[in-house]
């Protein structure tokens, strides 16, 4: 847990995660991710000093869903030394191969439902909420060790003040009315029930995405509980037909702007810093936007975009990151570019056979 705080001490763009959150995510006995997965954690030590870390992960959910025998590595950190990186990744590869894997992908921290991917372009700014960050030498280490690209993930940056939303709203309103679809904010008075209803469609709405892994009910509810502390209900949208949920969109304020001054600790002053800087956040990240297959031609995606833009403006948000988008999701990439969004960061999932 402590290694990144040493490695990134002088890096102005790194956002220290809360230690309590990292500890929870790494707890193989309690975190619901590990109910369907195995993991082993390794440290690289030289002359009594920790110089690297990696997690070897076997995600049974992924392999069942995709019909693969793939292992993963995650939580990778290393000094700028190819021998250290090779030792860590070789050990992780050995561990997953011993358990039947025929390839290893990553980084996954610990899956695509959490932080994933290695930053390869866009090192000149801090990451937004639930996105990764790493030094520029990490991709070089991957190449030197022999890992190759499996897939690139894109992050786009836009501003709610410059997006032309009126045309999107007109198209969306007509389409939604014709299909009988309505868009509403999440109901904070019935928050748990709404989260559970969204979970019921989550695994189908995103099921065709590369690398998608179904989330267990326990995982999804835990994530919902964690997000409840920072979300704005006007930016968590549910699409319904009658009483049935047919889509879901989620944008979160960039809480990283408040976490950064806290230095990874809640006490003695970290919590006060988070509460203070949280009020000053003016940017957000659109994390998910999905519609079940039978309503993908209904205009609901456009309806979500229109409502998010309108509500973000009312709440005073400016910059907006849309991430992450698969490099071969041609329709989504083209749509964002037509809206004036600029691709400004690229993340890579690597593979080692």
Q: Are residues 126 and 165 in the same domain?
A: no
Single out the residue of 190, 325, 286, 298 nearest to residue 239, CA to CA.
298
pLDDT of 3 above 90:
yes
The reply to whether 57 falls in a domain is yes
Which pLDDT band, with edges at 50, 70 and 90, does 321 fall under? very high
Q: Reply yes or no on whether the pLDDT at 33 is more than 90.
A: yes
Tokens of 270: 């970290």
Look up the domain containing 241 and give its range: 158-348
Instruction: Residue 309: name the closest of 139, 157, 169 by CA.
Output: 169
CA–CA separation, 309 vs 339, rounded Å?
A: 11
Average pLDDT, the chain: 94
Task: Please say which residue of 104, 133, 150 terminates a domain.
Answer: 150
* Same domain assignment for residues 73 and 208: no
Strand 115-116 relative to strand 284-291, pairing:
unpaired
Give the residue, 181 or 13, on which the prediction is more confident: 13
Domain count, the chain: 2
Listed residues 99, 125, 150: the one ending a domain = 150
258-316 pLDDT tens trace = 999 999 999 889 999 999 999 999 999 999 988 998 888 778 888 898 899 889 999 99
CA atoms lying within 13 Å on the CB side of residue 159: 3
CA distance 69 to 97: 9
Tell me whether residue 64 is in a domain. yes
Residue 351 has pLDDT above 90, yes or no: yes
DSSP 8-class letter at 282? -
Token code pair at residue 2:
């402590």
In a domain, residue 255? The reply is yes
Q: Are residues 95 and 213 in the same domain?
A: no
Torsion sign (Cα): 35, 36, 40, 41? negative
- Predicted local distance difference test score (pLDDT) of residue 13: 98
CATH assignment of the domain containing 296: 3.40.630.30
Q: Are residues 167 and 145 part of one domain?
A: no
- Please give the share of the chain, as a percent, with pLDDT higher than 90: 81
- Which is more confidently placed, 339 or 9? 9
CB 40 within 8 A of CB 95: yes
pLDDT of 200 reads: 84
The answer, yes or no, to whether residue 60 has pLDDT greater than 80, is yes
* Cα–Cα distance list, 311 to 160, 174, 237 (Å): 10, 19, 10
Determine the straight-line distance between the first and last CA of the chain, rounded to whole angstroms.
Answer: 28
Does residue 9 carry a pLDDT above 80? Answer: yes
Residue 89 has pLDDT above 80, yes or no: yes
pLDDT of residue 175 exceeding 80, the answer is no
Query: Do 92 and 227 belong together in one domain?
Result: no
Residue 134 has pLDDT above 80, yes or no: yes
- End residue of a domain, out of 115, 150, 185: 150
- Tell me the three state secondary structure of residue 69: coil
Residue 56 pLDDT class (50, 70, 90 cuts) = very high
Q: Are residues 203 and 269 in the same domain?
A: yes
CB 128 within 8 A of CB 283: yes
Cα–Cα distance measured from residue 53 to residue 4, given in angstroms and rounded to the nearest whole number: 9
Inform me whether the pLDDT recorded for 108 exceeds 70.
Answer: yes
Q: How confident is the model at residue 166 (pLDDT cuts 50, 70, 90)?
A: confident
pLDDT at 161: 78
Residue 186, sorted as left (phi over 0), alpha (psi -120 to 50) or beta, turns out to be beta
In a domain, 353, yes or no: no
CA quadruple 94, 95, 98, 104: dihedral sign = negative
Average pLDDT over residues 182-192: 95
Q: Which of 114-118, 120-124, 178-182, 311-315 has the lowest mean pLDDT?
A: 178-182
DSSP 98-117: HTT-SEEEE-EESSTTSEE-
* pLDDT value at 165 more than 70: no
Same-domain status, 216 and 71: no
Say yes or no: 239 and 108 in one domain.
no
How distant is the alpha carbon of residue 167 from its chain centre?
29
How far apart are the C-alpha atoms of 318 and 159, rounded to whole Å? Answer: 5
Whether 224 and 342 map to the same domain: the answer is yes
| Domain assignment present for 20 | yes
Position 292 in a domain: yes
Q: Does residue 81 sit in the same domain as residue 175?
A: no
Q: Is the pLDDT confidence value at 29 over 70?
A: yes
Query: Counting Cβ atoms within 10 Å, is residue 152 exposed (0-12), middle (13-18) or buried (19+)?
Result: middle
């Amino acid at each position: 847990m402590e290694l990144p705080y040493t490695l990134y001490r002088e890096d102005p763009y790194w956002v220290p995660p809360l230690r309590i959150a990292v500890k929870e995510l790494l707890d193989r006995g309690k975190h619901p991710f590990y109910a369907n997965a195995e993991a082993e954690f390794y440290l690289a030590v030289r002359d009594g000093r920790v110089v690297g870390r990696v997690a070897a992960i076997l995600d049974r959910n992924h392999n069942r869903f995709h019909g693969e025998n793939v292992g993963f590595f995650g939580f990778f950190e290393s000094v700028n030394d190819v021998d250290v990186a090779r030792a860590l990744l070789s050990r992780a590869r050995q561990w997953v191969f011993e358990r039947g894997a025929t390839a290893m992908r990553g980084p996954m921290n610990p899956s695509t439902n959490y932080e994933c991917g290695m930053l390869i372009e866009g090192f000149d700014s801090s990451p937004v909420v639930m996105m990764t960050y790493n030094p520029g030498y990490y991709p070089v280490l991957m190449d030197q060790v022999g890992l190759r690209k499996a897939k690139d993930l894109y992050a786009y940056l836009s501003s709610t003040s410059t997006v032309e939303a009126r045309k999107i709203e007109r198209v969306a309103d007509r389409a939604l009315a014709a299909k009988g679809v309505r868009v509403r904010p999440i109901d904070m008075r019935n928050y748990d029930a709404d989260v559970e209803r969204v979970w019921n469609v989550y695994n189908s709405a995103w099921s065709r995405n590369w690398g998608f892994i179904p989330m267990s009910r326990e995982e999804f509810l835990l994530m919902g509980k964690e997000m409840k502390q920072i979300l704005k209900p006007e930016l968590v949208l549910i699409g319904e037909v009658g009483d049935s949920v047919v889509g879901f969109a989620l944008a979160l304020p960039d809480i990283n702007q408040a976490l950064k001054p806290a230095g990874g600790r809640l006490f003695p002053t970290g919590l006060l810093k988070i509460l203070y800087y949280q009020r000053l956040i003016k940017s957000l990240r659109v994390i998910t936007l999905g519609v079940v297959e039978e309503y993908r031609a209904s205009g609901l995606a456009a309806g979500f975009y229109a409502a998010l833009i309108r509500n973000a403006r009312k709440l005073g948000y400016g910059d907006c990151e849309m991430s992450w988008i698969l490099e071969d999701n041609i329709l989504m990439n083209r749509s964002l570019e037509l809206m004036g969004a600029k691709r400004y960061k690229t993340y890579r999932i690597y593979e080692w056979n």
